[in-house]
Structure 1
């Protein structure tokens, strides 16, 4: 471990899953990392909420389907009561309407339970920095499944939030809604990747959005991006 790594604060993680073996396996994987510390566990949504409020973790690994209070409701409540914590949703199926519900409730990311350990660790580090993460192929497939739950409408030109976006920020917003990465957006709009990141950061602030996933959902709800585009 380098001196810089030693000084870096550890990412504090709470694991919420109703299966003991799953929690044990995740703990083994995460505690092998120098920059991650598992500070607690929960076996249902209710205990996930109370434990998170007590420990204030940086990242919460949240199983979607748990007895009692499910992962969606727990995520929604924590998004309000503990906005500084980043919820990373875990589910068995990549086309899971429950996972989409959790994303709408404020989760910062979505991963399958069969995700490789290295990808899980990388995802935790990503959401801990304030970014969002989704499993491969999530954006197009999950949005396709979730379209019946959305209520697309034509964007109101008088909408204060959208009107606050510059023309270039609106261009970036459209490409984000289409599921493009910052690198891909930079290529499409002939911008540097750092410029795209700066534009997107301002978009999140102006539209009061927590992460990229919520930006994609909003783009569909406003009708700025439509299925098949």
Structure 2
């Protein structure tokens, strides 16, 4: 069975190393290679659904749109795609944020090729959550003391929405249409639609339902 893989990593050398590790395996097919989250979403627009990656190996620290935000948005926009974090970090906050965002695995970049490919297979065939041993130990200690009430949420400010766009977003989540939003905010329906399009672009989403889902997921409203 051919496994369709994506790579999202901002450093060319690191992408090259990852490819050199996984591409010798004949059942691996690289279908997307992106420099950051924004680049990933741009490239996904050009792919047919049957060509979507099944698993994406993703870095955390990237410009424009980082790994955590990319995973979180993809869980809404492309729920069938699994993400395995491939990073140098063993930081507790990053581990937790990745798990909370919806990551299906967390490996270190220093892991051997066979471990990475095994993790991809585990995620695709068994819906597993593979982790490097060092990461797994940290994750177990971290999660053992976590309760639902103190789970950190993504901040709306992280998406650089303007104050007006935040107002429009709140009205969208409340179920109001452009005419109703315009009347309430004293702007025209066309201006509302412009704000809505900007919100979709900044959140890398493409429907009202997806925007509402993300807002409720992070308790923005």
The TM tier, using the shorter chain, reads 0.5 to 0.7
2:45 and 2:98 map into 1 onto residues whose CA distance is 19
Instruction: Give the match for residue 25 of structure 1.
Output: 17
| Conserved? CA contact 1:53–1:82, under 8 Å | no
Change (3 A) 1:50 1:118: same
| Residue range with higher mean Cα deviation, 18-27 or 94-103 | 94-103
Does residue 42 of structure 1 match 2:30?
Answer: no
The 5 Å alignment of 1:62-81 reads 62-81=58-77
Query: How much has 1:48 moved relative to structure 2?
Result: 1.9
Of 84, 87, 96, 1:88 maps to 84
1:105 and 1:50 map into 2 onto residues whose CA distance is 20
Q: Match of 1:37, SS?
A: strand
| Conserved? CA contact 2:60–2:87, under 8 Å | yes
Instruction: Give the match for residue 107 of structure 1.
Output: 103
Of 54, 60, 63, 1:58 maps to 54
Q: Match of 2:107, SS?
A: strand
Q: Match of 2:84, SS?
A: strand
Runs of 5+ consecutive residues of structure 1 not aligned to the other structure: 1-7, 154-229
Query: How much has 1:113 moved relative to structure 2?
Result: 1.0
Instruction: Give the match for residue 136 of structure 1.
Output: 133
CA RMSD of aligned residues (A): 2.0
Instruction: Give the match for residue 5 of structure 2.
Output: 13
2:78 and 2:148 map into 1 onto residues whose CA distance is 30
Query: How much has 1:147 moved relative to structure 2?
Result: 6.9
Higher-Rg member (1/2): 2
1:25 and 1:92 map into 2 onto residues whose CA distance is 14
2:132 and 2:44 map into 1 onto residues whose CA distance is 24
Aligned pairs, number: 144
Instruction: Give the match for residue 217 of structure 2.
Output: none
1:53 and 1:127 map into 2 onto residues whose CA distance is 24
Query: How much has 1:74 moved relative to structure 2?
Result: 0.2
Of 115, 119, 127, 2:115 maps to 119
Instruction: Give the match for residue 182 of structure 1.
Output: none
2:112 and 2:119 map into 1 onto residues whose CA distance is 11
Query: How much has 1:107 moved relative to structure 2?
Result: 0.8
Normalization by structure 2: what TM-score?
Answer: 0.59
The 5 Å alignment of 1:163-202 reads none
